[in-house]
Amino acid sequence: MATPNPVTTQGQTRTQTEEPTQAAPNIWAVAQQQFDAAAEKLDLDDGLRRVLRVPKRELTVNFPVTMDDGRVEVFTGYRVQHNVSRGPAKGGIRYHQDVSLDEVRALSMWMTWKCATVDIPFGGGKGGVIVDPKQLSTREVEGLTRRFTTEISPIIGPDRDIPAPDVNTNAQTMAWIMDTFSMHHGYTISGVVTGKPISIGGSLGRNEATARGAVFTLLQASKVLNLPLSGARVAIQGYGNAGSIAATLLAEQGATIVALSDSSGGIHNPSGLDPAKVSAWKREHGSVVGFPGADEVSNAELLEVDCDILVPAALENQITAANAGNIKARIVAEAANGPTTPQADAILHDKGVFLIPDILCNAGGVTVSYFEWVQDMQSFFWTEDRINESLKEIMDRAFESVHAMSEHREVDMRTAAYMVAVARVAEATNLRGLYP
Ligand code: NAD
């Protein structure tokens, strides 16, 4: 056996405490700051604040994987459960070279609030492995996934903690996790993960759910602002699962898609871009860039184009104090997690921009994951119509609760969403009391 190399990623030694290199705010500090603001507004008891401000459980695992050339590499991964007062932990697993414990903590806390905002019976969890999977073969990624699943299996399960896809993981990854967990137990346990392929217990509508949910919240916001989606001009940053499907669904509502982008850059045409044609172009050329009849814009310029609705659907920390003042949209719909920094939030609020916060806007994904879990537990599968109708009911109710809180307490929509969510989790935690 080759000598194990302590925590290496593609030959580069990393330490477990290494942080992402970008000079962005630490998102765990941001998540705690957002919680503190809501706790203050709710006048939450000090003891409860101390409980909810930190994750309940954090597991760090260092585990070996045999690579294709026979070398043994050791990878570091995490699974964090922030809160399980309202039900099992729920949240994705991310494979990325910049994963850190702090990032996973923040994402797990956001999952607690997201599940509570839409009032589904889950707590919050998240996982991640420090790896750039694009540097690994499919067999190596499968080996890594199966061993990581084994390492975290003492704390996951359909009644404990239910992972799902996140950055660089997909339905195939979920199939491997489900299979590994089932092999350990000797029978098939499909409800241990969501986001699975349909043929092994996945749900119809899951692929479109995040974008569809975001569009339901936009329909509600358009009523509040008297800004019909039909004819509204929309810019979308990120043309992956959330962004590309949102573009299609918004175009179906009669909106004009004026700008789109992906990691290679953006395209802009004030007369409108046809999402079907842009998707075909991206399939052929690997990017939206170069799409005929459109001007090229950078991702920074895309955020500032003249439009009515801006949908960040790519990464964290995109709308910052440096560009928030230049944003022209009347509505910002956060399909991405954490795209707006707290400083930018304040600037947008002062400008009168109506922001639909991530824990509400992109909660359609976890809501249909909840439907997948319910279907798996009952071994009874719903039609796509039933799924989309139930999703609309949940998203509309969540929007109404958050908007009512925002009006009643005269706070911005993000603070309102946090207040709704934190109050629900605090009530559950309080009712259950402290054990022993
Ligand atoms: P994805 O990987 O399918 O797509 C991401 C897109 O962003 C790609 O088009 C990529 O090229 C683009 N991108 C990457 N870097 C960029 C940059 N610097 N500027 C502009 N575009 C860039 O991912 P996704 O599933 O669509 O997720 C996007 C966001 O939505 C993430 O923040 C994710 O956490 C959030 N989200 C997704 C889901 C879901 O169900 N897919 C659910 C909730 C939240």
What is the number of the ligand 1 atom nearest to the C-alpha of 264? Answer: 11
- Answer yes or no: do 290 and 355 share one domain: yes
User: Looking at 200, 226, 260, which one is the last position of a domain?
Assistant: 200
CA distance to 28, 30, 282, 303, per residue, from 24 (Å): 11, 11, 29, 18
Are 195 and 215 members of one domain?
Answer: no
Q: Do 194 and 253 belong together in one domain?
A: no
- The one-digit pLDDT tens for each residue of the chain (436 residues) are 333 333 333 333 333 333 333 456 788 998 999 999 999 999 999 999 999 999 999 999 999 999 999 999 999 999 999 999 999 999 999 999 999 999 999 999 999 999 999 999 999 999 999 999 999 999 999 999 999 999 999 999 999 999 999 989 999 999 999 999 999 999 999 999 999 999 999 999 999 999 999 999 999 999 999 999 999 999 999 999 999 999 999 999 999 999 999 999 999 999 999 999 999 999 999 999 999 999 999 999 999 999 999 999 998 889 999 999 999 999 999 999 999 999 999 999 999 999 999 999 999 999 999 999 999 999 999 999 999 999 999 999 999 999 999 999 999 999 999 999 999 999 999 999 999 9
Q: What is the largest CA-CA distance in the chain?
A: 67
Q: Looking at the structure, tell me whether residues 175 and 221 fall in a common domain.
A: no
Helices (H) and strands (E) in the chain, counts: 14, 14
> Is residue 367 within 6 Å of ligand 1 at its C-beta?
no
DSSP state of 324: G
Q: Is 340 in the pocket of ligand 1 (CB under 6 A)?
A: no
Among 295, 328, 361, identify where a domain stops: 361
**Ligand 1 contact via 314 beta carbon (within 6 Å):** yes
Residues 284 and 196 in one domain: no
Does 278 fall in a domain?
yes
Whether 395 maps to a domain, the answer reads no
Q: Whose CA is nearest to atom 42 of ligand 1?
A: 365
Q: Which of 336, 361, 386 is the last residue of a domain?
A: 361
Asked whether 238 lines ligand 1 (CB < 6 A), one says yes
CA of 313 to the centre of ligand 1 (A): 5
For residues 268 and 252, give the distance between their C-alpha atoms in angstroms, rounded to a whole number.
19
CA 337, 168, 278: angle at the middle one, nearest 5? Answer: 75
Distances from the Cα of 265 to the Cα of 243, 268, 289, 304, angstroms: 14, 10, 6, 14
- Residue 272 forms part of a structural domain: yes
Mutate to test the pocket of ligand 1, among 115, 315, 371 (most ligand atoms within 8 A of CB): 315
- Choosing from 56, 90, 114, 126, the catalytic residue is 126
Q: Is any ligand 1 atom within 6 A of the Cβ of residue 324?
A: no
Query: Ligand 1 atom closest to Cα of 335?
Result: 30
Which one of 208, 210, 320, 368 would you pick to mutate in the ligand 1 pocket, going by the greatest count of ligand atoms within 8 A of its CB? 210
Atom of ligand 1 nearest to the CA of 339: 32
Residue 178 sits in the same domain as residue 254: no
| Closest CA to ligand 1's atom 30 | 336
Burial 217-226 (b: 16+ CB within 10 A, else e): bbbbbbeeee
Question: In this structure, are residues 75 and 111 in contact, taking their beta carbons and an 8 Å threshold?
Answer: no
Residue 392 catalytic?
Answer: no
348's enclosing H/E stretch is helix 342-351
239 in contact with ligand 1, CB cutoff 6 A: yes
433 part of a folded domain: no
Instruction: Judge if the beta carbon of residue 242 lies within 6 A of ligand 1.
Output: yes
**Position 313 in a domain:** yes
Contact 83, 56 (CB under 8 A): yes
- Is 394 a domain residue? no
Task: Please check whether residue 428 lies inside any domain of the structure.
Answer: no
Q: Enumerate residues 6+ apart whose C-beta is below 8 A from 391.
A: 205, 209, 212, 213, 216, 364, 367, 368, 371
For the CA of 210, the nearest atom of ligand 1: 40
CATH number at residue 266: 3.40.50.720
Q: Domain range spanning residue 318?
A: 209-361
Q: State the distance from the centre of ligand 1 to the C-alpha of 61, rounded, in angstroms.
A: 26
If you measure from the C-alpha of residue 250 to the centroid of ligand 1, how many angstroms do you get, rounded to a whole number?
17
- For residue 78, list its beta bridge partners: 60, 128
Cβ-based neighbours of 160, under 8 Å, separated by 6 or more: 84, 88, 89
Task: Give the CATH number for residue 73.
Answer: 3.40.50.10860
298 Cα: distance to centroid of ligand 1 (angstroms) = 17
**Span from the CA of 334 to the centroid of ligand 1 (angstroms):** 11
The reply to whether 187 and 226 lie within a common domain is no
Ligand 1 neighbourhood includes 339 CB (under 6 angstroms):
no
Tell me: do 219 and 346 sit in the same domain.
yes
pLDDT of residue 18: 32
Q: How far apart are CA 94 and CA 375, in angstroms?
A: 24
Same domain, 134 and 88: yes
Q: 350 with 225, same domain?
A: yes
Q: Domain total for the chain?
A: 2
Q: How far apart are the C-alpha atoms of 155 and 140, rounded to whole Å?
A: 24
In a domain, 124, yes or no: yes
Instruction: Judge if the beta carbon of residue 370 lies within 6 A of ligand 1.
Output: no
- CB of 260 within 8 A of CB of 288? yes
Residue 332 identity (one-letter amino acid)? V
In terms of domains, do 332 and 311 share one? Answer: yes
Question: 42 CA distance to ligand 1 centroid (A)?
Answer: 32
Say whether both 102 and 227 belong to one domain: no
Ligand 1 within 6 A of CB of 241: yes
